[in-house]
Structure 1
Amino acid sequence: MVCLNLFDELKFRGFISKISNIDGLEKIINHNVITLYCGFDPTSDSLHIGHLVPLFCLKWFQKYNHNIIVLLGGATGLIGDPSFKNQEREFNISEKVICWNTKIKNQIFYLFQNLGVFSPLIVNNYDWFKKINIISFLRDIGKYFSVNKMINRKSVKNRINRIEQGISFTEFSYNLLQSYDFLKLYKKYHVILQIGGSDQWGNISSGIELIRRVCHEQVFGLTIPLLTQSNGMKFGKTEKNESIWLDSEKTTSYKFYQFWLNVEDDKIIDFLKLFTFLSISKINQIQKNNNIKSDFFYLKSILADAVTRIVHGKEELKSAKRITNILFYGNCNKLTKLDFYQLKKDGIPSLILNGEEDLRQVLVNTKLSSSRNHAYQLIISNAIRINNRKETNPKYVFCYSDKLFGKFTLITRGKKNHFLLCW
């Protein structure tokens, strides 16, 4: 299959869940230059990898010469979107949201810079909501919204039916605010398409209807499937239910890289379509070869390399690959001091030791063995490595040369159980 147009590209890569007017949108985006937007509320000081899906979708529109806008929810972030949330979001103070907006804006700029293209126009809805008079807003905008229709939306109805946790008027009003965003961007930038996750269908539909009633014009909405793992957990979270953040201070580039190396085998082809810019012919060739002989590690390496480079840059990718290769195959003496601090932060389990230098006891303390006798068996069976050097002496005592940079020792049981000792 060779993509002749953007619509085919989006379908092939799995970016389409629902479209408000599929025939109309397909015709317009394949034959005209349009302006579209996607909004991101600052609910934290960093985006996570779930946000990469709409960002990469925006990028595909840009590659086909369309104009893209990223809307930061400086105002809506203070309210909180109730869509399919079991309870009300925790409210954040405006100063915090302003700070988060700045960090997220910088992340998006950096990501598009790593893609080697110009960054999208980034706007903040606080810039217009801060000027709005509440009476004027309710009179001029609120009159177009039917409460009957709003409470029958699945996302709202689910909350209303939860007696112990209903929905506040604050959250209920969110739908009006996001709809007004679409109207504002339509009037100022002639935005005719809003994209978002499939949980945003209700909000996007309301914006389409508002523009139809106010401006008597047709605009469009496109939603993207929400990705989940086979265990039902939201994509982008680890087994410990931790989010994988784009900010390297929250998730190191090594841990980020490892996440992609460990995605489920049956997701690889889908993720290569969504999270890389490999051509369709290249992906089809990979899929064909993979059907003949599965080499999932090779495919995961392609995926991990591509996404880590885009999010963290070439140097951070080199660091993540260096740490990975050395942990599993190489010489620990090639690790830099910064690499060890990455590992200490959230790469592998670590333990601070003050004086204990007996190998068997250290194995017990790190829980790499269940007892000193078990540690003895592990050592004599060639299962233990110190800085990737096999140690077979059950009476071994750590010496200064084992302490890289005078501080770090990497101890390994088998092939995958790594532990960092910090002296």
Structure 2
Amino acid sequence: MNALLDDLQWRGLIAHSTDLDALGAHLDEGSVKFYVGFDPTAQSVHTGNLVQILLAKRLQDAGHQPFLLVGGATGLIGDPKESGERVMNSKELVHEWVDKIRSQVSRFVSFEGDNAATMVNNYDWTAEMSVLDFLRDVGKHFPVNRMLARDVVARRLEAGISYTEFSYVLLQSMDYRELNRRYGITMQTGGSDQWGNIAAGVELLRRSDQVRVHAMATPLLTKADGTKFGKTEAGTVWLDPSLTSPYAMYQFFLNAEDAKVVDYLKVFSFRSREEIEALERATLEAPFKREAQRALADDVTDIVHGRAERDAAVAASGAIFGRGELGELSEATLASVLSEVGGSQVDSDATVVDALVAAGVVESKGAARRAIAEGGAYLNNERIEDADLVLAPEALLHGRYAVLRRGRKTVGIAERI
């Protein structure tokens, strides 16, 4: 098999594909033009999309040419959801999100060299197409019985599905045909939840243009209990730092389960097989050291936000638990820690007892006073001696933040207003 596909299989990145032998032979012929699409259904891409983005980078690093499609047209419709009809966003909002997502995904691939990446928007070839042309040139190639058999459509039929969402597969399939005609693209990648749409595009090209093209899909990542990866109690882990801070992203990957951390390393890290296998052994032999988790958190935060933000996240992680200098943390980093570990605002005349409760470190003022009396309560890593101490600005980080800790592990932040 092709060496690239062999590595992708080892990393668990191939869930579905057209003929793998034919795909491998195609990749061996030279630089292949491929595409992956992102619909602007939110203002940011997330960790699930990052799987596709990094796959595109792996393919580009192997000499192939990526085309990154942002769906200005398909984003106006929305792929059918199992839970019911999507809310249709305004054109203005979708176009705004297109620009944001284009900017985000373009940071991960190179736009220079012989296999430079290209950004495309399917609104460019869809917006001016007439209904008659769409029905004659695209719709006639889609048997309704096969469309009805699609899993998501079949599950939605009883409750109801609009013609708009039912026809989404035609739009995405048309993208593959248009990109093949315009640029000679012969491979599409995506997530396994998109495999029905991806395969339909392959079939459309075979039926309408008598062209053979290729496709592959990655599996959807899950946690050990089978639930979807990339969700926290606070919600989706976004790549936009204004939605998910670098500190929060670092903590998310640092907390990866032992049972899944090696799987995540294979997908999100560019470490070699030998390095990952060594981390796998370390996890089995000394899981308490969490070497694989630290490597995963380091690598993902580096890739998404850069080394400086990763260093800040590591410093913050250590400092709030008493293993570093809190005074060196920036105000932005402390704000992100506040949103991640929990806490609340306190009035200007609040005492450390009030702050311990507000930060969620203790349940009551009585418990706060007991912790202080026992010598187990800390303000900005300094043991609290006086339960009546008022949180004056000069005693706080950046004049407003109080990192409160009880013992070694219970931490929260209060912000003085």
TM class by shorter chain equals: over 0.9
Shift of 1:32: 3.1
**TM norm structure 1:** 0.92
Shift of 1:296: 4.9
Q: Which residue pairs with 1:106 in the alignment? A: 103
Distance of 1:73 and 1:362 partners within structure 2: 47
CA contact (8 A) 2:190 2:218 kept: yes
Which of these residues, 132, 138, 143, is aligned with residue 135 of structure 2? 138
Instruction: Specify every segment of 5 or more residues in structure 2 that has no aligned partner in the other structure, as ranges.
Output: none
Which of these residues, 334, 345, 366, is aligned with residue 373 of structure 1? 366
Opposite residue 350 of structure 2, the aligned amino acid is: E
Which of these residues, 66, 69, 76, is aligned with residue 68 of structure 1? 66
CA contact (8 A) 2:31 2:115 kept: no
Q: Which residue pairs with 1:51 in the alignment? A: 49
Distance of 1:30 and 1:325 partners within structure 2: 47
Distance of 1:291 and 1:366 partners within structure 2: 36
Give CA-to-partner distance per residue, 1:37-80, whole Å, 9 cap, x none.
11110001100111011111111111110111111100000011
Opposite residue 259 of structure 1, the aligned amino acid is: F
Q: Which residue pairs with 1:260 in the alignment? A: 253
Which of these residues, 55, 74, 77, is aligned with residue 75 of structure 2? 77
Give runs of aligned pairs for residues 118-137 of structure 1, distance below 5 A. Answer: 120-137=117-134
Give CA-to-partner distance per residue, 1:228-285, whole Å, 9 cap, x none.
2234432111034x00110111111111111111111111111111101001122122
Which of these residues, 304, 308, 313, is aligned with residue 315 of structure 1? 308
Q: Which residue pairs with 2:236 in the alignment? A: 243
Identical positions, percent = 36
1:273 is the counterpart of 2:281: no
Distance of 2:153 and 2:116 partners within structure 1: 35
Distance of 2:392 and 2:135 partners within structure 1: 74
Q: Which residue pairs with 2:378 in the alignment? A: 385
Count how many residue pairs are aligned between Structure 1 and Structure 2.
415
Q: Which residue pairs with 1:169 in the alignment? A: 163
Q: Which residue pairs with 1:209 in the alignment? A: 203
Seen in structure 2, the aligned counterparts of structure 1 residues 294 and 370 have a Cα distance that, compared at 3 Å, is closer
**TM norm structure 2:** 0.93
Opposite residue 237 of structure 1, the aligned amino acid is: K
Distance of 2:334 and 2:378 partners within structure 1: 17
CA contact (8 A) 2:2 2:27 kept: no
Shift of 1:292: 3.2
Distance of 1:4 and 1:193 partners within structure 2: 15
Opposite residue 184 of structure 1, the aligned amino acid is: E
CA contact (8 A) 2:66 2:116 kept: no
Query: What SS does structure 1 have at the residue aligned with 2:378?
Result: strand
Shift of 1:107: 0.7
Q: Which residue pairs with 2:190 in the alignment? A: 196
Query: What SS does structure 2 have at the residue aligned with 1:88?
Result: coil
CA contact (8 A) 2:63 2:115 kept: no
CA contact (8 A) 1:330 1:388 kept: no
Query: What SS does structure 2 have at the residue aligned with 1:218?
Result: coil
Query: What SS does structure 2 have at the residue aligned with 1:265?
Result: coil
Seen in structure 2, the aligned counterparts of structure 1 residues 310 and 216 have a Cα distance that, compared at 3 Å, is same
Give CA-to-partner distance per residue, 1:282-312, whole Å, 9 cap, x none.
2122223433333552221111111111111
Query: What SS does structure 2 have at the residue aligned with 1:404?
Result: coil
Q: Which residue pairs with 1:158 in the alignment? A: 155
Give CA-to-partner distance per residue, 1:130-171, whole Å, 9 cap, x none.
12111011012111110111001111101003x3xx110000
Distance of 1:294 and 1:96 partners within structure 2: 46
1:301 is the counterpart of 2:298: no
Seen in structure 2, the aligned counterparts of structure 1 residues 188 and 117 have a Cα distance that, compared at 3 Å, is closer
CA contact (8 A) 1:265 1:296 kept: no
